[in-house]
Structure 1
Amino acid sequence: MAEEFVNWSGSIRFTPSDRAQPKNTREVTRLVTGARKASRTLRPVGSGHSSQPVFNTGDTLVSLDSMNGVADADPEKHRARVLPGTGLHQLGRQLAKHGLAMENLGDVDYQTIAGAIGTATHGTGIALGNLSSTLIGGRLVNGLGEEVAFGVDAGEDREHDLLRAAQVSLGSLGILTSLTLRLEESYELHRQNWITHIDWVLENFAELIETNRSVDFYWYPRSDLAQVRMLNKPGEEPDLVPEGRLKEDRTGPSYEIIPNDRHLHFEEMEYMLPLDTQLEAFRQVRERVKTRHRATVGWRVLVRTIAPDRAMLSNAQTRPTMTIALLQNNTLAFQQYFDDLEPLFRRFGGRPHWGKKHSLKGAELYLEWGTFQRIRREMDPGGVFMNDYLRELFAETGE
């Protein structure tokens, strides 16, 4: 048996029978072919930042840490081919050497690029999609041990079904060996963090999201204050600024300015809801937290926005989206808190973040769930990449 694996927050622990760390596509192919012949399974893992058991396995856990870096870049076409184990923290600097940058990043940058894309990690901004929407092509090794190109790498357009399935796949189609990303020219951002009262945010949310490139806010349940984070290219800042105290004001490369530094680990539940500038869902969350959970909630509630996209399992598919995330220090109880709020998110048409705590089982909220499952079975007919969690999620009891 290999050593125990523990995820970033500490809530998931398991011991695989073996660990593998392939260095190239040939070694990935050998792993898949061997697992298929032995009727065993493989699960890829990135940084382990997910708090859902997407990577759990009693067989072989596959780390792609040795497959990292920018393989090639095309600044004129604003794209680059990136290897799957590249950490987001390192990727920003590597792309900058080619004059390129991701159009957006998430709240943290601990993840690998393949893990972040596979679970639809996102940042904030009504005109900015999640990270998965920037995947325009790539290659993967499917469950038959075949290397398959998709998207621009296969000469296909961005509406091709395999690309839209691969953009958010939870590692269920195969092991990614390269990712071709749509990028921007390198740019700087001016970040301002304001402390204000939550009532000011509720009154001004519509204008905030329209006038800032990126904006989000934390609500602090015990004080009823909020922290509003505004990110804009220098010289493009809006006139509207929050009433209150300026906590942070700095400018730098986008990959340094967007992510937050998280020394404390936490558990999180996040749901993606249809965009509502009146914030009715948040208002109900706020009321319930104040009524039932204020004494035990140690962290804050985070609200962000995402542009719509076309990925089959994207939680922002086809609709402008707002997100509400419940954060709780990982040393404190979280299950009762999350369980109480999750039905409220679902009543508002919420879709869960695949990498965060949730209890969704099945296809109620995804328009192309059936198409995705057909593609997944074609790519992995023997269930090489399945685990108990994915079997339950996909309702595949026979694999």
Structure 2
Amino acid sequence: MADRFTNWSGSLRFTPSERREPEGEEEVVRIVREARDRGRTVRPVGSGHSSTPLMTTEDVLVSLKRMVDVRSADPRRMRAAVSPGIELARLGAELADAGLGMENLGDVDYQSLAGAIATGTHGSGVRLGNLSSTLIGGTLVTGTGDTLPFGVDAGEDEHHDLLRAAQVSLGALGVLTSLTLRLEPAYELRRTNWITHIDWVLENFDELVETNRSMDFYWYPRSDLAQIRLLNVPGEEPELTPPGRLKTDETGPSYEIIPSARDLRFDEMEYMLPFDNGLEAFGEARTRIKEKHRARVAWRVLVRTIAPDRGMISTAQGRSTVTVALLQNASLPHEEYFADMEPLLRSFGGRPHWGKKHSLSAGELRELYPEWDEFQRIRRALDPDGVFQNDYLRQLLDEA
């Protein structure tokens, strides 16, 4: 029996029967084939940042933390092949050494690359996609223990079905052993954080979104203030600046400036909404929180934007997106709060973040994704014996 595993927020705990830490693709192949031969299951895990039980298993847990190298970097073609377990902070530094940078990053940088991509991790920017949209190829080990290149690694274009399924896969198609990313030349960003009233943010939201490379805001329910984060290439800042207090003004490499430090642990529910009604959804959420939950909500609500993409079950598939994330300190109860707010966010056509708290199962999820059945067809073809299934995935993917 392996050691007990606890996720980042502390909300998930389980004990796998075996925990493996392969150092390369050949070892991953052996692990999967052994499990299949013995009728066991395998779940891959990265940093454990997800709040949903995607990684939970009583069988074999495969940590990719020893597979952490940048295998090749090509500044001319603006791409790199990267091992799955590398943390985003280390990846940013190593890509910068090669003169390259990722288009965007999420709010934190201690996630592993494969885990962040498999769950659709995103930052903010109406013209910037989630991390998954920058995956253009790679290799995975399927449920039969075979290695399968996809995307540019297989000589296919970015519209190929297997690539679009792999871009957000939940670890259900196989174990990613190499990821090829579309990149940009290394760049610097200036980050300014302003404290102002939420009403000013809402009145100027469209202009803030359009004129900044990246813009998001936290709303603080107890004060009705907001913290706006603006990210721009130095010298390309727009004229509109928020009234209020300038809290942060720093410039540096993009991979250092985009993420935030997170010392306190929290649980989170986040819904991705069609851009055109995202602010209306936030407005109704704000009203309900002030009326029912303000006294017990110790954290804040985060609003971001994402460009549309083509991933089969990406939460930004086919539509420009506004995201509304509810955060609650991990030491405080979140269940009643999240359960009350979720139907409201769903009523606006929201899709739940795959790595954050939600209650949806296959019946509701199928309605949100036009290519849901095609993703399931590809998944079953790559994993016919359900080697990568667990109880939670069977509930999500209608295999219960």
TM tier relative to shorter chain = over 0.9
Q: Which residue of 1 aligns with 2:260?
A: 260
- Equivalent positions of 1:2-41 (< 5 A) are 2-41=2-41
* Residue 377 (structure 2) aligns with: 374
What count of residue pairs does the alignment treat as equivalent?
397
Tell me what 1:70 maps to: 70
Choose which of 386, 390, 396 in structure 2 pairs with 1:393. Answer: 396
Which whole-Å CA distance do the structure 1 matches of 2:120 and 2:153 have between them?
Answer: 21
The answer on whether the counterparts of 2:191 and 2:248 sit within 8 Å (CA) in structure 1 is yes
Give the Cα–Cα distance (whole angstroms) in 2 for the partners of residues 67 and 231 of structure 1: 31
Question: What is the alpha-carbon distance in structure 1 between the residues aligned to residue 275 and residue 25 of structure 2?
Answer: 41
Distance (whole Å) between structure 2 residues aligned to residue 23 and residue 110 of structure 1: 20
**What is the alpha-carbon distance in structure 2 between the residues aligned to residue 24 and residue 294 of structure 1?**
49
Counterpart of 1:334 in structure 2 is 334
How much has 1:360 moved relative to structure 2? 1.2
Question: Structure 1 residues 187 and 277, CA, compared in 2 at 3 Å: closer, same or farther?
Answer: farther
Q: Which amino acid aligns with 2:200?
A: W
CA contact (8 A) 2:33 2:145 kept: yes
Give 1:277 shift: 7.1
CA distance in structure 1 between the partners assigned to 2:330 and 2:25 by the alignment: 37
Give the 5 Å matches for 1:225-374: 225-276=225-276, 279-362=279-362, 363-374=366-377
Separation of aligned partners in 1, 2:386 and 2:209: 43
SS in structure 2 opposite 1:93? helix
Alignment partners' CA distance in 1, 2:198 and 2:320: 23
Q: Contact between 1:220 and 1:226, CA under 8 Å: does it hold in 2?
A: yes
Q: Secondary structure at the match of 1:72?
A: strand
Deviation (angstroms), 1:89: 1.1
Other-structure match for 1:189: 189
Match of 2:130 in 1: 130
CA distance in 2, matches of 1:235, 1:45: 40
CA–CA separation in structure 2 for the residues paired with 1:268 and 1:364: 23
Aligned to 1:354, the other structure's residue is in SS state coil
Aligned to 2:54, the other structure's residue is in SS state: coil
Runs of 4+ residues over 4 Å off in structure 1 = none
Tell me how far apart the structure 2 counterparts of residues 201 and 278 of structure 1 sit (CA, whole Å).
14
> Following TM superposition, by how much is the alpha carbon of 1:276 offset from its aligned partner in structure 2, in angstroms?
2.7
Q: 2:276 aligns to what SS in structure 1?
A: coil
Once residues 113 and 166 of structure 1 are traced to their aligned partners in structure 2, the CA distance between those partners, rounded to angstroms, is 13
Q: Report the TM-score, using the length of structure 2 for normalisation.
A: 0.99
Conserved 8 A contact 1:206-1:277? no
Instruction: Please list the CA deviations of residues 146-169 of structure 1 after superposition, one character each: whole Å capped at 9, or x if unmatched.
Output: 000000000001110000000000
The letter for the 1-side match of 2:257 is: I
Identity level (%): 68
> Can you list the C-alpha shifts for 1:184-216, whole angstroms capped at 9, x where unaligned?
000000000000000100100000000000000
Q: Structure 1 unaligned runs (5+)?
A: none
Q: d(CA) in 1 for partners of 2:128 and 2:114? A: 19
Residue type of the alignment partner of 1:118: A
Instruction: Tell me if the contact between 2:99 and 2:185 (Cα under 8 Å) persists in the aligned partners.
Output: yes
Distance in 2, matches of 1:207 and 1:100, equals 30
Q: What is aligned with 2:91? A: 91
**Alignment-derived partner of residue 219 in structure 2:** 219
| Amino acid in the other structure paired with 1:374 | R
Query: 1:50 maps to which residue?
Result: 50
- The letter for the 2-side match of 1:365 is L
CA distance in 2, matches of 1:278, 1:197: 19
